[in-house]
Amino acid sequence: MVSSRHVMCGILILCGATAGAQNDAPAKSKDAAAQSSVELNDGRDRVSYGIGRNIGESLKGDELDVDVALLARGIADALGGVESPQTDEEFKEALQEFQKAMSNKALAKNEDFLKANAKKEGVKSLPSGLQYQVLKEGKGKKPTAKDTVEAHYKGMLPSGKVFDSSYDRGEPAQFPLSGVIKGWTEGVPLMQVGAKYKFWIPSDLAYGPKGRPPVIPPNSLLVFEIELLDVIPGDAGDLEPAPKLKLKK
């Protein structure tokens, strides 16, 4: 959920995600995007603008409906030691209402997306809400929820932004299907070794209302392309998930 620190996540992820936030976004040509007229004359200017840019990119990615002018005024007042016009309790109450409204909006948007997606050619829907499309059929063994699998995968937000990819790391991942999100536990056993599927996973089968900030927003529907490479029987011993895997429960 959105926390009182959410607007500062740009600062918290500045070291690791400044480039990521820009590189993962869809490329825009100079003709397609407005160019900022701000002048950055030294390192202090660049850091100041970069922090603000990170905050804005995060808020935009999470589609948070905030008043930009008041957001900037809040930062300026805090840095300037100006007393807040609201109490902590008033802020908490407003934040709770805001979180509830954003949660309802996200869930409604997910529902509309899945309804439209279900009508597309080749997309199949399961009673749980999980949707999938066969990109390539396999001919090997099917895993069970108790097995460990080896797979290549790419995880995306509905916008198309990639948040995790074994392809980018240059090696497949191994993990027990009993230790990942519900959408994987249900979906991967549909596949045979050698198959490649695309899955649309509702938020309740992924990370739910908490999400995994700042990477995965609250109540986010997730999209995965998964290529099943091998199945390791559950009695072969537990394998630890790859260190960078972001699919743990």
The predicted structure's pLDDT at residue 61: 65
Q: What percent of the chain has pLDDT over 90?
A: 59
Q: Helix, strand or coil for residue 157?
A: coil
Split at pLDDT 50, 70, 90, the class of 66 is confident
And the tokens for 182?
A: 């519900």
Catalytic residue among 51, 98, 163, 204: 163
pLDDT (average), residues 47-56: 89
Q: Which of 181, 201, 216, 226 is catalytic?
A: 181
Alpha-carbon gap, residue 207 to 249, rounded angstroms: 8
pLDDT bucket at 2, cuts 50 / 70 / 90: very low
The pLDDT tens digits of the residues spanning 71-108 come to 999 999 999 999 999 999 999 999 999 888 888 888 99
Under 8 Å between Cβ of 181 and 199: no
Confidence of residue 18 (pLDDT cuts 50, 70, 90): very low
pLDDT at 46: 93
56 contacts 50 by C-beta, under 8 angstroms: no
- Whether 91 is catalytic is no
Q: Does residue 24 surpass a pLDDT of 70?
A: no
Query: Is 203's pLDDT higher than 60?
Result: yes
Mean pLDDT on 34-54: 90
Q: Whole-model pTM?
A: 0.69
Answer whether the bond into residue 214 is a cis peptide, omega within 30°. yes
Alpha-helical (H) ranges within 64-204 are: 68-79, 88-118, 166-169, 182-187
Q: How far apart are CA 158 and CA 101, in angstroms?
A: 20
| Predicted local distance difference test score (pLDDT) of residue 118 | 97
Question: Where are the chain's structural domains?
Answer: 6-27+37-85, 124-236
Q: What is the CATH number of domain 124-236?
A: 3.10.50.40
163 has catalytic annotation:
yes
Question: What are the residues facing 199 on neighbouring strands?
Answer: 132, 224
- Tell me if residue 67 is catalytic: no
Which residue matches tokens 């850091």?
47
Contact 184, 213 (CB under 8 A): no
How many CB atoms sit inside 10 A of residue 67's CB? Answer: 9
Q: Is 207 designated active site? A: yes
Q: What integer pLDDT is reported at residue 245 of this predicted model?
A: 43
Angle, helices 14-23/43-61, rounded to nearest 10 degrees:
60
Q: Which of 132, 216, 224, 226 is catalytic?
A: 224
The per-residue pLDDT for 189 is 97
pLDDT at 217: 84
49 is catalytic: no
pLDDT tens across 110-131, in order?
999 999 999 999 999 999 999 9
Catalytic status, residue 24: no
